Amino acid sequence: RAIVERSVVLAHRLMPAVTLHHRFWPPGRPLSLDYPQRSLYENLRLSAQRHPTRSMIVFHGASIDYASCLDRVDRLAGFLQHDCGVARGDRVLLYLQNSPQWILAYYAILRADAMVVPVNAMLRAAELAHVAADSGAAVAFAAQDLVAELPPDLRRTIVVTYRDCAGDAPSPEAPEAVRAAPLPLPASPAGAFVRWTDALAAGRRPDAHLAGPGDLAVMPYSSGTTGRPKGCVHTHRSAMATALMHARWGDWGDAPVVLATLPLFHVTGMQSNMNAPILLGATIVLLQRWDRDAAAAAIERHRVTSWGCITTMAIDLLSAPGIERRDLSSLRRIGGGGAAMPAAIAARLRELTGLEYIEGYGLSETIAPTHINPPHRAKRQCAGVPLFDVDARVVDPVSLRELAPNETGEIVVHGPQLFTGYWNDPRATAEALVEIDAKRFLRTGDIGHYDDDGYFFVTDRLKRMINAAGFKVWPAEVEAMMYAHPEIQEACVIAAHDERRGETVKAVVVLRPGAAADAAPAAIAAWCREHMAAYKVPRIVEVVDALPRSATGKVMWRDLQERESRQDRSEPTD
């Protein structure tokens, strides 16, 4: 028997990486999917036909059914086409926090045959200006408290007041932004700003829907080592792929109720909290921002069955006073990614809910997951196995030679969810995509391996990137912004350990000669908070006399990172 078992193991080791994990495939699931050849908007239309009176969105006390959502989407699409001049293939900015308006605007843009450009609501004016200029967007949806950050040359902006979709009386626990009354529109040329309610009231009907699977659908921006965010171009076909993969991988039940706490501008939230649920005809219980008490209350009140979250949200929920007395029994699936789930937290979550936290892995370039753990056989701190129709391998980063199980190299992926490339950046596209066995693979820039079962583990990064509570922070981008500080001569951004976020941003700076007193570390951090998104702001600022340099004059950021890592390891623990 032992000889037979060793022979089986040896045979599995000789299997290609793309099939090793098939032994642990979720029961009852096919190895390959038949992907609908239609636009994402059609998913909403079909779900509205099947479940017209079912609640599609529940938002801080208010509920909107599928038929009403479809009607609002169509009216907004008509307004975009007939009043804003949006045509097929145009790009439209979506600059809001989580809200029904975010979802409705997203699908209205698609219904108008245009492409959604989701924007992180934490971005400030300079960051937003780059996205608007690079994408060529002339029209935007923007929250009323964010309008001041918009570029002045946009043709039309539809201004959103969150309260308009929160019912007549928003729940008392709703965030202040949801309860806020409408603000005056900015002074501008006639018609440059229009209220969301007025756009709906115009009652425009859209032209015939022309977009198909090959049309532009959504373009999330992903930063890179050059310091400039790049648009990841996705068609309806690639976005549909991961939405369907999400919908088919796990057990959602007959009438899923999904708690949406991830930011919808991020591809994981967009697909797992919005597009997959709408494809399934699910109810989306939406929080405007993360609040552990509101999340626990929503699970109880609405009998939530599915919760997609990042690790830090799960940690925060478990630390809420009295959480063990909450009724979380309706949950049947919990999962997410962003950072590895600590074993102790996973055990606590399992004790509380009886469920395993199902980890996954994906990128903006793949519009969310390429890997997810099998629900019936999950491994801890593991990216999971390649999803339907995904070919994932590990290669030598230099030679691209394919490596065997348990050999460390760069993870590359091929599948139907791959982007078409970076917007207007053929050089970056060519660097990101390689051909292996006549297939187009994405170089993820992540270092890892797969084990004898075909499960993938991410262990390091080929790219220079900081993972702060699931938000990807690119040091070169932060450094480029910090050089605008009048007293900073040089800056090098690295990762520092953080108990809650996993990693946080640290800036090592050299000041200009005769720097003013306001160049103290705390003052520099305060300046950064005014000029960049909160998750990018260095939580630690260290002032030094000089940065380490190589013989060619390049800043040796790895030396600083290794020194920081050694300090983290040497700190005493309780």
What is the residue type of 421?
Answer: G
Do the Cβ atoms of 142 and 95 come closer than 8 Å? yes
Q: Report the predicted TM-score, pTM, of the whole model to 2 decimal places.
A: 0.85
Q: What share of the chain is helix, strand, coil (3-state, %, to 5)?
A: 35, 25, 40
What's the average pLDDT block by block, 10 residues per block, for the chain (574 residues)?
44 59 95 97 98 97 96 98 98 97 98 97 92 97 96 96 87 87 88 96 98 98 69 98 96 94 94 97 96 94 95 86 94 85 84 94 95 94 95 94 94 98 96 96 94 92 79 82 86 89 90 78 93 92 87 74 78 45
The stretches of 374-520 forming alpha helices (DSSP H) are 426-432, 475-482
The upper half-sphere exposure of residue 191, i.e. CA atoms within 13 Å in the direction of its Cβ, equals 7
**C-alpha to C-alpha distances, 116 to 107, 108, 428, 472, nearest whole angstrom:** 9, 9, 21, 21
- Euclidean distance between CA atoms 253 and 168, whole angstroms: 32
What is the residue type of 158?
Answer: I
The upper half-sphere exposure of residue 466, i.e. CA atoms within 13 Å in the direction of its Cβ, equals 30
Residues near 192 by beta carbon (within 8 Å), at least 6 away in sequence: 154, 155, 156, 157
Do the Cβ atoms of 261 and 313 come closer than 8 Å? yes
Joined tokens for residue 344? 């102790």
3-class SS string, 276-327: HHHHHCCEEEECCCCCHHHHHHHHHHHCCCEEEEEHHHHHHHHCCCCHHHCC
Query: Nearest-CA neighbor of 485 among 520, 528, 445?
Result: 528
Strand-pair category, 421-422 with 409-414: unpaired
- Euclidean distance between CA atoms 18 and 307, whole angstroms: 29
| Helical (H) or strand (E) element with 335 | strand 333-337
